[in-house]
Structure 1
Amino acid sequence: MGKFNKDVKLLIEYLGGVENISAVTHCVTRMRFVLKNPQNTDVKSIEALPAVKETFTQAGQFQVIIGPQVSTFYNEFIAESGLTGESKDSVKEAAKQNMTVVQRVVANLSEIFSPLIPAIIVGGLLLGFRNIIGDMKLFEEGTKALVEISVFWNGVNSFLWLICEAIFHFLPVGVVWSVAKKMGANQMIGIVIGITLVSPQLLNAYAVTGAESIPYWDFGFAKVEMIGYQAQIIPAILVGFTFVYLERFAKKISPDAIQMIIVPFLSLVPTVLLAHTVLGPIGWKIGDVIATVVQTGFNSSFGWLFAGVYGFAYPILVITGLHHTLLPIDLQLIATTGGTYVWPIVALANIAQGSAVLGYIFLKRKSVEEKQIAVPACISAYLGVTEPSIFGVNLKNFYPFLAALIGSGIAGIVSMLFVATANSVGIGGLPAILSMQGNSMLPYLLCMAIAVVVPFVLTIIFSKTKLNKIAAK
């Protein structure tokens, strides 16, 4: 008999039986179901199961939070139910039948950027390390950085830029490829199109503002500026989707015998032409407008309040899954300004969730059962993954979640007052300090301290108030 045998049998029953399940898969902490009739689900009974931390419906899927042992639970569920486990992509596609148009757009954007996140995180950490050795004046009475006194570390600094440049300057290649992969188009052609956005033949996007003149292609009747779109996300998205739909059109009109020739030609050449005449300039402008709006909010006289609201609301976005759609804003700020002061607030929100759990652990320090759930959740949040904390402890008990929201809001305010800026998106939680720009590291340490102390203290205080009774109901 498996470890979760009883809970698995009851879960199947409470889901409305095997016949009510269209598809099932799992991720790091959650079981994900696509149900034929969601109204047949006994949610209260499911949430009362010992193995279940929380449930919610998002992106057309009924999701059951199990925690780090979800893979074991999933295997027992498959064995008991007789269902065939589906891939995450298959489940997502099935779930979209239950989604609105807006939800489908959000889901598609999230899926496009998900494969890019590991590279972006590594790049952020490397940029942070380059800041430490290249920008922080720690030697010779604070007048020189490590790279200025060491040939070896200067070489390391230069070498690491090779990786960082590949990740961030050439990010449009990854975006177009990801769109092609997501939409079922030719991925190699997608890569080629992406490269045409960042080719060395073009004027680098970072050099456009200060350029005395911009090179161009002269077609006699028209001139097209040879501008690159390094690190530009929105132009790459527009170009990617244009390629996908042109390829689909080309397949419809091309005879089968010559599709291998006609389809790549009719999808590649027009897409690249549109990229440099219409889509690129429009996408660049849209990106500038978005970055300007965000900058205006953060840089206004109420910027501190804007940051506080953002810090308070971000964990709520995590619950809905909408937080993935904020990544393009960070990337656009990085492309426009050379850094982001939005993502550091996100990392503080991660820390605040972990600190609220830490406060809960302190309160329940005599309960072995509670600590089995809370300790791994706390560690996970401090390393940037907050779902175990949010669903396993904080939201379930309410008062730690409120304490975390207030803590991340206050930390966000202080972060904006110092204009704490990161080179890039990186690992959330405590390791976020490695992604910060050199002059922001010390102020950000203060912000991190706030995100640790405030939620911890508030969790203990709230536990002695009526807020504690809300969770008990």
Structure 2
Amino acid sequence: MGKFTEPAKELLEHVGGSDNISVVTHCATRMRFVLNDNDKADAKKIEEISLVKGTFTNAGQFQVIIGNDVASFYNEFTEIAGVGDTSKDEAKVAAKQNMSFIQRMISHLADIFTPLIPALVVGGLILGFRNVIGEIGMIGPDDLTLVEVSQFWAGTHAFLWLIGEAIFHFLPVGITWAISRKMGTTQILGIVLGITLVSPQLLNAYGVAGGGDIPFWDFGFAQVEMIGYQAQVIPAILAGFVLAYLELGLRKVIPNVISMIFVPFFALIPAVLVAHVVLGPIGWTMGSWISEVVYSGLTSTFGWLFAAMFGFAYAPLVITGLHHMTNAIDLQLMSEFDGTNLWPMIALSNIAQGSAVVAMIFLNKKDEKEQQVSVPAAISCYLGVTEPAMFGINLKYMFPFLAAMIGSSIAAVISVGGGVMANSIGVGGIPGFLSIQFQYWIIFFIAMFVAIAVPFVLTIILSKTKMGVNAYKRLGKK
């Protein structure tokens, strides 16, 4: 008998047995189930298992929080359950059977941007550092920048742009690659398509607004403007999906013996042509309209109201998965306004959720089992990963979740009221200040303090109200 035999048997029984398991995998702390019938899973009894620290359902998957022992537990569980090992990608595919159409669309968007996030985070930090050394006067009576007084920092500033440009100006390459990867089509074709959107042959997207003559391809009967789509999100998404669906469709009609030649040829050339003739101009217009509406809304007289609503609603958006849409909006804002005023509010929302958990740690300091969930959840939340905190603690009690939403809303109003801009998407927690443009650090630190203090105090206050008392009774805590 192994170390986790008994809890594994209990978990198997309460998820509905082996026949109810379609797919099971695990991440760093959680077991992820795709169940044939979610109603057969008894979450209450599962949470009573000594090893289990909480449960929740997200993105079509029933997830059980185990903790650091999850890998060892998973091995014993799969052996006892008689279910085979599978990959996270396969789990995502299987999970879609439990999703609505809207959920599947959001899942597609998440699958596109998730592989790009590490590069975007690095890019944001690099742009922030370049801003500090190249734009902020801090030396001598003339307030000279580090770049102006030091050749080393001047060289560093220029060198780092090599990476920043690769990440943001050539972002369409990453997007079209991610789409081809997600759709199971030829990834190198996705990369080639992306390069055709940002090729040095083309007039840089940032140069179009400057006026002057735009070069064009002359086909005799028609002319196509040679405009690049550097840093543009929507044109790349539209072009990427056209290429993917063309390739998938051609595979069905072209015999295998010649598919290696004709499928890439008849997929790539039309996709590039359509991208430059139709999708690029349409996507650019759509992206500009969306970013203008968001930016104007946040900087208008009623920007505080938009900020309050977004700060309050962002955490619920995470539950539904709709928060993935903000990645595209952030990137579009960056391309249009050299920064985003949306992302700082997201970082503050994450911090607020973590602060509510810290309050719960204080309130339940004698509950050792809950501490095993809440302490790691608070740490991961402050580092930008909110799901363990939200699903493992805050949503279970509800009043800390509400306290975090209120704190996030107030912090968002301060951020927008102070005009805070981030260079890019960054680490969505306390380290997120590194992505904030340097001139806004002070106001962002004030907003961050509010996101830490208000949820903590409110959670303790709400725990004494009828809402808090009922939550404890419901969970059998008091």
TM-score by length of 1: 0.96
Higher alpha-carbon deviation: 439-448 or 416-425: 439-448
Residue identity in the other structure for 1:454: V
| Partner in structure 1 of residue 312 of structure 2 | 312
1:252-401 to 2 correspondences below 5 Å: 252-401=252-401
Q: What percentage of aligned pairs have identical amino acids?
A: 58
Tell me, what secondary structure is at the counterpart of 1:25?
strand
Q: Deviations over 1:109-133 (max 9, x none)?
A: 1111111111111111111111222
Count the aligned residue pairs.
473
Q: Does 1:51 align with 2:57?
A: no
Q: Does 1:64 align with 2:58?
A: no
| Partner in structure 1 of residue 434 of structure 2 | 434
In structure 2, stretches of 5+ residues that fail to align are none
Q: Deviations over 1:17-72 (max 9, x none)?
A: 01110111122333221111222222221233333333333332222233444333
Q: Does 1:13 align with 2:8?
A: no
- State the superposition RMSD in angstroms: 1.7
Contact 1:53 1:391 in 2 (8 A): no
Q: Distance between the aligned counterparts of 2:6 and 2:458, measured in 1?
A: 37
Cα gap change, 1:329/1:452 in structure 2, threshold over 3 Å: closer, same or farther? same
Residue identity in the other structure for 2:33: F
| Partner in structure 2 of residue 88 of structure 1 | 88
Contact 2:400 2:455 in 1 (8 A): yes
Q: Distance between the aligned counterparts of 1:411 and 1:56, measured in 2?
A: 28
Residue identity in the other structure for 1:376: P
Residue identity in the other structure for 1:322: L
| Partner in structure 2 of residue 231 of structure 1 | 231
Higher alpha-carbon deviation: 156-165 or 65-74: 65-74
Q: Distance between the aligned counterparts of 2:192 and 2:93, measured in 1?
A: 27
**Alpha-carbon offset, residue 174 of structure 1:** 0.8
Q: Distance between the aligned counterparts of 2:135 and 2:290, measured in 1?
A: 29
Q: Distance between the aligned counterparts of 1:97 and 1:307, measured in 2?
A: 35
Tell me, what secondary structure is at the counterpart of 2:137?
coil
Residue identity in the other structure for 1:234: I
| Partner in structure 2 of residue 410 of structure 1 | 410
**Alpha-carbon offset, residue 142 of structure 1:** 6.4
Q: Deviations over 1:75-134 (max 9, x none)?
A: 232232121121111111112222222221111111111111111111111111112222
Q: Deviations over 1:346-392 (max 9, x none)?
A: 00011111111222222333444433322222211111111121122
Tell me, what secondary structure is at the counterpart of 2:52?
coil
Higher alpha-carbon deviation: 328-337 or 24-33: 24-33
Residue identity in the other structure for 2:130: R
Residue identity in the other structure for 2:172: P
Contact 2:295 2:341 in 1 (8 A): no
Residue identity in the other structure for 1:171: L
Q: Distance between the aligned counterparts of 1:5 and 1:404, measured in 2?
A: 38
Residue identity in the other structure for 2:243: F
Q: Distance between the aligned counterparts of 1:60 and 1:23, measured in 2?
A: 11
Residue identity in the other structure for 2:317: L
Q: Distance between the aligned counterparts of 1:192 and 1:174, measured in 2?
A: 10
Tell me, what secondary structure is at the counterpart of 1:32?
strand
Contact 2:56 2:62 in 1 (8 A): yes
**Alpha-carbon offset, residue 299 of structure 1:** 2.6
**Alpha-carbon offset, residue 395 of structure 1:** 1.8
| Partner in structure 1 of residue 241 of structure 2 | 241
Q: Distance between the aligned counterparts of 1:133 and 1:384, measured in 2?
A: 26
Residue identity in the other structure for 1:289: W
Residue identity in the other structure for 2:349: A
Q: Distance between the aligned counterparts of 1:248 and 1:454, measured in 2?
A: 52
**Alpha-carbon offset, residue 424 of structure 1:** 0.3
| Partner in structure 2 of residue 217 of structure 1 | 217
Higher alpha-carbon deviation: 124-133 or 136-145: 136-145
Tell me, what secondary structure is at the counterpart of 2:421?
coil
Q: Does 1:36 align with 2:36?
A: yes
Tell me, what secondary structure is at the counterpart of 2:465?
coil
Tell me, what secondary structure is at the counterpart of 1:85?
coil
**Alpha-carbon offset, residue 183 of structure 1:** 0.8
Q: Distance between the aligned counterparts of 1:396 and 1:76, measured in 2?
A: 28
| Partner in structure 1 of residue 124 of structure 2 | 124
Higher alpha-carbon deviation: 137-146 or 440-449: 137-146
**Alpha-carbon offset, residue 414 of structure 1:** 0.6
**Alpha-carbon offset, residue 470 of structure 1:** 2.9
Contact 1:177 1:187 in 2 (8 A): yes
1:177-188 to 2 correspondences below 5 Å: 177-188=177-188
Higher alpha-carbon deviation: 382-391 or 363-372: 363-372
Contact 2:55 2:392 in 1 (8 A): no
Q: Distance between the aligned counterparts of 1:132 and 1:371, measured in 2?
A: 39
Residue identity in the other structure for 2:432: A
Q: Does 1:467 align with 2:457?
A: no
Q: Distance between the aligned counterparts of 2:57 and 2:252, measured in 1?
A: 37
**Alpha-carbon offset, residue 252 of structure 1:** 3.0
Cα gap change, 1:377/1:141 in structure 2, threshold over 3 Å: closer, same or farther? farther
**Alpha-carbon offset, residue 2 of structure 1:** 4.6
Residue identity in the other structure for 2:389: S
Following superposition, which runs of at least 4 residues in structure 1 exceed 4 angstroms of deviation?
none
**Alpha-carbon offset, residue 74 of structure 1:** 2.1
Q: Distance between the aligned counterparts of 2:309 and 2:69, measured in 1?
A: 34
Q: Distance between the aligned counterparts of 1:156 and 1:451, measured in 2?
A: 34
Tell me, what secondary structure is at the counterpart of 1:224?
strand
Contact 1:356 1:456 in 2 (8 A): yes
Residue identity in the other structure for 1:132: V
Q: Distance between the aligned counterparts of 2:121 and 2:70, measured in 1?
A: 25
Residue identity in the other structure for 2:370: E
Contact 2:103 2:321 in 1 (8 A): no
Q: Distance between the aligned counterparts of 2:2 and 2:440, measured in 1?
A: 50
Residue identity in the other structure for 1:61: Q
Q: Distance between the aligned counterparts of 1:406 and 1:234, measured in 2?
A: 33
TM-score by length of 2: 0.95
**Alpha-carbon offset, residue 3 of structure 1:** 4.7
**Alpha-carbon offset, residue 322 of structure 1:** 2.3
Higher alpha-carbon deviation: 35-44 or 423-432: 35-44
In structure 1, stretches of 5+ residues that fail to align are none
Q: Deviations over 1:424-443 (max 9, x none)?
A: 00111111111011221111
Q: Distance between the aligned counterparts of 1:51 and 1:384, measured in 2?
A: 25
Cα gap change, 1:422/1:337 in structure 2, threshold over 3 Å: closer, same or farther? same
Tell me, what secondary structure is at the counterpart of 1:313?
helix
Contact 2:53 2:372 in 1 (8 A): no
Higher alpha-carbon deviation: 177-186 or 461-470: 461-470
Contact 1:59 1:99 in 2 (8 A): yes
